[in-house]
Amino acid sequence: MKLLLVDDEAEFLDTLLKRMKRRHVDVSGVGSGEAALAYLEQHATDVVILDVRMPGMDGIETLRKIKDRHPLIEVIMLTGHASMEAAIQGMEMGAFDYLMKPMDMDDLLYKAEDAFKKKTIHANKIHKMVRDLG
């Protein structure tokens, strides 16, 4: 599973990256929605963990663009209490799930693994359909 963390809080992002790498997760991190979109153009990614509240392009706009350009990538929204509506809106737009900050590391990993399984199932169905048509 290739994971991308997107959060504008550098200290939070750095801590999360270290904790994921300690668990042997293939993870990268960027600090903005714009950087996430640029990263996704260059790197195969399975799951994006995306902060809802960021300056510039917020999490909802970033989610919309990820889903437009990379529909198979699953996205988990990270939200605080003040942005619950945005998390719900994200789910309506195709986010896999959301978690409240601060979140439990194990919960985050379980959700990421579930999202990866869903992505893999969809990708396999598409490959099978293409193979059957060819």
* Nearest one of 127, 21, 1 to 74, comparing CA atoms: 1
Alpha carbon distance 91, 6 (integer Å)? 17
Contact 33, 62 (CB under 8 A): yes
| Amino acid code (one letter) for 42 | Q
As a whole number, mean pLDDT of residues 121-126 equals 94
pTM exceeds cut of 0.75:
yes
Could you count the other beta carbons within 10 Å of the beta carbon of residue 91? 15
> What's residue 27's pLDDT?
98
**Which residue matches tokens 């490959």?**
127
Strand order across the beta sheet in which 2-6 lies? 26-30, 2-6, 47-51, 74-79, 97-100
For residue 52, the SS3 value is coil
**Which residue matches tokens 């706009």?**
61
What CATH number should be reported for the domain holding residue 119? 3.40.50.2300
Structural domain of 117:
2-133
> What does the pLDDT look like over 3-61, one tens digit per residue?
999 999 999 999 999 999 999 999 999 999 999 999 999 999 999 999 999 999 999 99
Total of domains in the chain: 1
Contact 118, 3 (CB under 8 A): no
> What does the pLDDT look like over 50-104, one tens digit per residue?
999 999 999 999 999 999 999 999 999 998 766 778 888 899 999 999 999 889 9
